[in-house]
Amino acid sequence: MAIASRLPGERHLGREDADQIATIRKSIIEIGDDWRVRHPWLTRHQDGVGLAIFVVSILGVVADAWLYIAGVLPGWATILISAFWLSLLHELEHDLIHSMYFRTNRIVHNTMMFGVWLLRPSTINPWVRRRLHLHHHAVSGTESDLEERAITNGEGWGSYRLITLLDSFIGIYTKPFRMPQLVQAYVEQEARTPEEARYLTNINRMSYFPLGAMHYLLWHIFIGIHVYQWVFGPAQVPGQELLGILAVTILAPNAIRSFSIYFVSSNLHYYGDVEAHNVLQQTQVWTKWWLKPFQALCFNFGETHAIHHFLVRDPFWIREAIKRDCQKVLRENGVRFNDFGTFRRANRFTRAASDTIDP
């Protein structure tokens, strides 16, 4: 039964791992199917649920901005609440990349894709990310996994990794030769012809254009103005008030949201010594209480993403609803929980003798 349940890339795996993967996948399907039976309305209207999350999240960001400008909501609250709404849009983008909403209505689908990008300008073009993310699923933890390696997965922990998680552009500037090497590894694995290789190289060079470039330009100007005024004293800067409003309502919420998802995702995935296509070795699960502030701004990504690696079918809000039952299955079948030794091991799967993890 288990061998027949293997996906094509898993055919080389050993019997024990293949059996565990098949057991997990079968159980997640059953748990999800049972949830759908108990909630038939949500199942029948999955497109509508996705659209509702899209509209409510955008209205939430707009309402936060209006309340801040009106003096009702303080800046710190505006940043945190807006970051939450934006985290929903990030998860929605991920579901859209897997075509979970409006698969047959490309106008609505692509409108939502553009909307989640417009409100999250610190991220790359979602149509470019779609191919990167599908490639990530195929090669997770290996050298050409550009999506994860770009956010420092596999790097040793230190100032460079922290800076890159806080600001992707500064990370690129700090090690200017690193990103071309990552792109080259991705292209060599993904491209089937020289023409396709050139296309993928060029499209990834432009992945932050134009929204990402605008976001980081304005964000760096905002930070630069405040550093200058802190060092040299108050100074009149044209447009500073408008830039300040933009920083509180869009730039800063995206910065803190991006750090949260990058921190969780880059440490959640293993890298370097994983067996190709062995889902048991690709991710761990994070459930500790001290992670809650990060989880709150990436919609519990650390608790649910391992489920997605075993079964892509379910949107993020269903994964959240079934996570407890799924986590029990994951734990019983060898998936690691709270393996924080990876901070010392640069995401390597092989554990050091001193490492302790949840049983």
Who's near 225: CB < 8 A, 6+ residues apart?
A: 237, 240, 243
Kindly report, residue by residue over 248-265, the tens digit of the pLDDT: 999 999 999 999 999 999
pLDDT of residue 300: 97
CA atoms within 13 A on the CB side of 300: 16
**Token duo for residue 176:** 């200017």
Kindly report, residue by residue over 46-75, the tens digit of the pLDDT: 999 999 999 999 999 999 999 999 999 999
Contact of 35 with 318, CB cutoff 8 Å: yes
pLDDT of residue 4: 41
Determine the average pLDDT of the residues in 148-175: 96
pLDDT of residue 359: 59
Contact of 106 with 86, CB cutoff 8 Å: no
Instruction: Identify the helix (H) or strand (E) that includes residue 170.
Output: helix 168-174
Give, in degrees to the nearest 5, the angle at Cα 198 between 116 and 93.
15
pLDDT of residue 65: 98
Q: Could you tell me which of 291, 289, 246, 251 has the C-alpha nearest to residue 267?
A: 291
Distance in angstroms (rounded) separating the CA atoms of residues 359 and 338: 9
pLDDT of residue 1: 36
Kindly report, residue by residue over 289-331, the tens digit of the pLDDT: 999 999 999 999 999 999 999 999 999 999 999 999 999 999 9
Instruction: Identify the helix (H) or strand (E) that includes residue 253.
Output: helix 252-268
pLDDT of residue 203: 96
Show the DSSP H helices in the chain as ranges. Answer: 15-38, 40-44, 46-69, 75-97, 106-118, 126-139, 146-149, 159-166, 168-174, 178-190, 194-205, 211-232, 240-246, 252-268, 292-296, 301-310, 316-332, 342-345
CA atoms within 13 A on the CB side of 189: 19
For residue 2, pLDDT beyond 70: no
Kindly report, residue by residue over 98-142, the tens digit of the pLDDT: 999 999 999 999 999 999 999 999 999 999 999 999 999 999 999
pLDDT of residue 3: 39
**Token duo for residue 92:** 């929605």
pLDDT of residue 5: 58
Query: What's the pLDDT band for 10 if we cut at 50, 70, 90?
Result: confident
- The pLDDT mean for the chain works out to 95
Q: Using a pLDDT cut of 70, give the percent of the chain over it.
A: 96
Who's near 177: CB < 8 A, 6+ residues apart?
A: none
Token match 């949840």: residue? 358
Kindly report, residue by residue over 228-250, the tens digit of the pLDDT: 999 999 888 899 999 999 999 99
Distance in angstroms (rounded) separating the CA atoms of residues 87 and 2: 36
For residue 78, pLDDT beyond 70: yes
Query: What's the pLDDT band for 6 if we cut at 50, 70, 90?
Result: low
